[in-house]
Amino acid sequence: MIPGLIVRELREEDVEEVVRIHGEITRKPSPSVVEMLVRENLEKNRGVGFVAEMGGRVLGFMMGEIKLGSFGLGQSFWIEMMAVDPKHMGTGIGQAIGERLFEFCKSKGVLDVYTAVRWDSGDILSFFKTLGFDRSNFVNLRKRLE
């Protein structure tokens, strides 16, 4: 563990920092959309989120949802959004949040954790590999409506 790092559940007062970190990563100004997604996660019955903080400042987050019976699965957890402040990437913060999330999932009897990553996002793929993720038996499908 990183000295001074606290990994705790996402709270309402973290929304602004989560939006800031997301914006720094994506470089796309969409604070209202990200804020809406974070607030929805906080309000969902099965929504789960964790942040890493040091010295009162949020340095990273991971959030998602426990799914029940989707696509023929039993209980599973789906990571929907995560990021670490660019100034603190590569320091183990993301791994600390992931490990806390896995502890939470196990405590709820959830043993399968999924996420979706763009095939060309090598840095994110590498990150999830370090957490023990591998390809699943799902194929993402898409239909663009015109």
The domain in which residue 34 lies consists of: 6-130
pLDDT at position 64 is 95
Distances in Å between the Cα of 129 and the Cα atoms of 3, 50, 82, 85, 141 are 24, 20, 15, 20, 22
Whether 38 is in a domain gets the answer yes
pLDDT at position 29 is 63
pLDDT at position 138 is 82
CB neighbourhood size of 66 (10 A): 18
pLDDT at position 83 is 95
pLDDT band at 33 (very low <50, low <70, confident <90, very high): confident
Considering only residues 93 and 39, tell me which one the structure prediction assigns the higher pLDDT.
93
CATH of the domain at 101: 3.40.630.30
Whether 109 is in a domain gets the answer yes
H or E segment to which residue 19 belongs: helix 15-26
Whether 140 is in a domain gets the answer no
pLDDT at position 46 is 82
- Kindly tell me the burial class for residue 132, based on how many C-beta atoms sit within 10 Å of its own C-beta (0-12, 13-18, 19 or more): exposed
20-49 average pLDDT score: 85
Whether 51 is in a domain gets the answer yes
Whether 146 is in a domain gets the answer no
pLDDT band at 34 (very low <50, low <70, confident <90, very high): confident
Q: How many domains does the chain have?
A: 1
H or E segment to which residue 67 belongs: strand 57-68
Distances in Å between the Cα of 87 and the Cα atoms of 33, 66, 115 are 23, 30, 24
62-70 average pLDDT score: 88
